[in-house]
A and B are shown apart, each in its own frame.
Chain A
């Protein structure tokens, strides 16, 4: 399958700003999906509200564009009604962690068979740069003009604690590793969660002295620490300050029983 058979060529160029990381994730997702050879007509994509949740609308397949924060709730219903479908959720940090935080935690706990790809750009990019739950400490945004006094959520660690089967985090600088992780997540039975720390040059970088997307990518490269290496270097604790360190890597890979197996859902069709 060519790239523009997977995506809707008539919708191009897409609406994302120049240098936005969503396009990078689209490339990596296409590569992983294509390498696995999954059927596009047996896959459903779900998105909430936000920049990253627009990605399902560009894919040449059935997509569900839902209310703010409820992407996982809709995906749960979709998966239980049609268990033969593969369900992929594209979502952002505000959509998944802030407004839909409870759905996210309970989705991980229920361990339903779906793949969740969260593009964490550290800000509410679409609505004009308000501070979100993942804005790093002391970083500027529209609503925190003197620096963010709160500490950010660590979405990957929450997913591990809540019981997801596969959890990984990468940045848009590590494209090959990210492609490999998405591939593993698509094959995984149960709740697979991939968090991608992505750049938002317009609303996040511009207010934090990094207006060029390459400066943000440089920052990701400098501050990324592999989780397996971090453990040996005795910095195993989760550094909640993204300005200090972004822990990347595979967080967990396990085989808990999924919800469908527990309640005995019968596939039809």
Chain B
């Protein structure tokens, strides 16, 4: 499973960048449609839940995101082999 940031909901507070113990996120550089610098998931293969389909381990970013913008999505086969 990999975390995905929804650009319609993210307000660019960067709490996910701060709180992720594995540094999966980085600060955004482009302005989104609703006018914020969205965080980017640039290293999802470092995530604790990489290559896991069932039990989720950490979830600090999902629970901490104040705008409910982060959700789990299944990985493609190419991403799983990384």
List chain A positions with a Cβ less than 8 A from chain B.
3-4, 7, 12-14, 16, 18-24, 26-28, 31, 172, 175-176, 179, 201, 212-214, 217-218
Contact = CB atoms under 8 A, between A and B. Distances in A.
Interface residues of B, dominant DSSP: loop
Contact of A23 (B19, B34, B65): B65
A162 B40 CA distance: 47
Interface residues of B, number: 21
B14 A27 contact: no
Contacts of B64: 24, 27, 172, 175
30 contacts: A3-B68, A3-B71, A12-B9, A13-B9, A13-B11, A13-B34, A13-B67, A14-B67, A16-B67, A18-B11, A18-B13, A18-B66, A19-B14, A23-B65, A23-B66, A23-B68, A24-B63, A27-B63, A27-B64, A31-B63, A175-B63, A176-B60, A179-B63, A201-B13, A213-B15, A214-B17, A214-B18, A217-B15, A217-B18, A217-B19
Contacts of B34: 13
Contact of B66 (A3, A7, A19, A212): A19
Q: Which of B18, B62, B67 has the most CB of A within 10 A?
A: B67
Interface residues of A, dominant DSSP: helix
A24 B11 contact: no
Contact of B68 (A7, A176, A179, A212): A7
A27 B68 contact: yes
Nearest to A19: B13
B12 interface: yes
